[in-house]
Amino acid sequence: MPSDIKKKIQNLGNEELYEIALDRERMRSRERQSRRHSELLLQGLQVLTSSDTAESGLLNILLSIDRSESLDGSFVLVSDESSSLEVFSSTLPGVWGTKWYPGDMFSRMFERGKPIIVHDLRQPAEWKDKPEIKRIYRSAVHAPFYFGKSRAAIICVSKGHGFIRYMHAKLLYRLGPLLTQALVSIQNLRQLKNARAELEEKSQQLEQALGKATRLAGTDYLTQVLNRRSFFDAAEKELYRSCQLDLPLSVLVLDIDNFKAINDNYGHAAGDAVLADLANLCKRLLRDSDVLARYGGEEFMVLLPATPKNRAAKVAERIQQAVAKASFNGLPAGQKVTISIGVAGKDVSGPFEIATLIDHGDKAMYEAKKQGKNRVVLYPFD
């Protein structure tokens, strides 16, 4: 065989062997890359499921991408209600709060549904209003993904020219479903939190409305003190406490003297004003623990917990004297109002009923009327 032909065959054989070796190396590289990407996907899924919140899981996925691919940072953009996209998660502090307005590159990326690599960030319109960011970073890969009707994109950047390559774009493309799952989880959790917050707010509003309705149902509309039914509810509780702790309990029964004459001479509006003023005057003279109620018509009840009858009588005298000196709305200047008060008390021991206590106080009040009105009488009386 001529030497020149043999040399050509040898050269041809070496070239074929080189191509075979090169193909094998390319295959091994793709296998390593695919294995690394698969491991990253698995790690990302584990991170997402083990993180305290979906937000922290998404951030940890971005951090994993940065570490495994030697990138300088990553961030996720999500479309808002307008046409712009907002930063949803980021490993770069400098991009928080920025808005990204789609130009030709983003439009092409979302239309094709494939990543786009940019080696010079000064060129795309999307980066033109980000001078501080593009001054630091030279190249980036942009990959689109969706969740529901919202558009989203993950962007990874590098400070080196030409560092970002096809393998980065391929990785982000494969990460799309995982990132979608992260955003869906965040969205679902936020919707759940919003629903819970809305439910709690409505529950509070309902409780407030029910509380207001309950208060209104238990309040005398004219005087804004307890009505008869609420007085009995409060009185039963105080009687139970009094019996359990062996505490005294007293009641005052107040009745406005000559109230019919007030209505007849000055009108019912004047009578209503007198009732309201009397209730306000009593509230100022009583303790917070005392129970004041309009029992009916011009009659009021005052329950004095932990108060013996002799002390209750002094409270009654203070109220009776204050009323006699007071001026009342709706009445002419100098026109005075007086009240008669009956005082009754429960002994510290022995069975007792609220009805009995009120009956004794009522009898004492009528005795005060008989004795000339504008006075205080204790039960039992002579």
* Tens digit of each residue's pLDDT (9 = 90 or more) over 184-227: 655 554 555 566 667 677 767 767 766 666 566 778 889 999 99
- Regarding whether 172 and 42 lie in a shared domain, the answer is yes
Is 342 part of a structural domain of the chain?
yes
- Regarding whether 141 and 8 lie in a shared domain, the answer is yes
| CATH number, domain containing residue 78 | 3.30.450.40
d(CA 368, CA 378): 9
Q: What is the pLDDT of residue 5?
A: 45
d(CA 218, CA 202): 24
Q: What is the pLDDT of residue 67?
A: 78
- The amino acid that residue 131 corresponds to is P
Phi, psi of 243 (to 5 degrees): -70, -40
| CATH number, domain containing residue 281 | 3.30.70.270
Is 76 part of a structural domain of the chain?
yes
Burial class (CB in 10 A: 0-12, 13-18, 19+), 100: buried
Q: Which residue has the higher pLDDT, 218 or 74?
A: 74
- Regarding whether 236 and 181 lie in a shared domain, the answer is no
For residue 334, pLDDT over 90 is answered with no
d(CA 373, CA 258): 9
Distances in whole angstroms, Cα of residue 85 to Cα of each of 61, 97, 99, 131, 189: 20, 11, 6, 18, 21
Average pLDDT score over residue span 363-376: 95
178 lies in which domain range? 3-185
Q: Which of 82-91, 140-149, 206-215, 279-288 has the highest average model confidence (pLDDT)? A: 279-288
| Cα 202 from chain centre | 10
| Domain count along the chain | 2
- Regarding whether 246 and 179 lie in a shared domain, the answer is no
d(CA 349, CA 291): 22
Phi, psi of 319 (to 5 degrees): -65, -45
What would the pLDDT profile of 301-314 be if each residue is shown by its tens digit? 999 999 999 999 99
Q: Which residue has the higher pLDDT, 81 or 319?
A: 319
Is 23 part of a structural domain of the chain?
yes
Strand residues in the chain grouped as ranges (E): 73-79, 85-90, 99-100, 116-118, 139-147, 150-158, 249-256, 291-296, 299-305, 339-346, 376-378
Q: What is the pLDDT of residue 286?
A: 95
Q: What is the pLDDT of residue 280?
A: 95
Q: Are strands 73-79 and 85-90 parallel, antiparallel or unpaired?
A: antiparallel
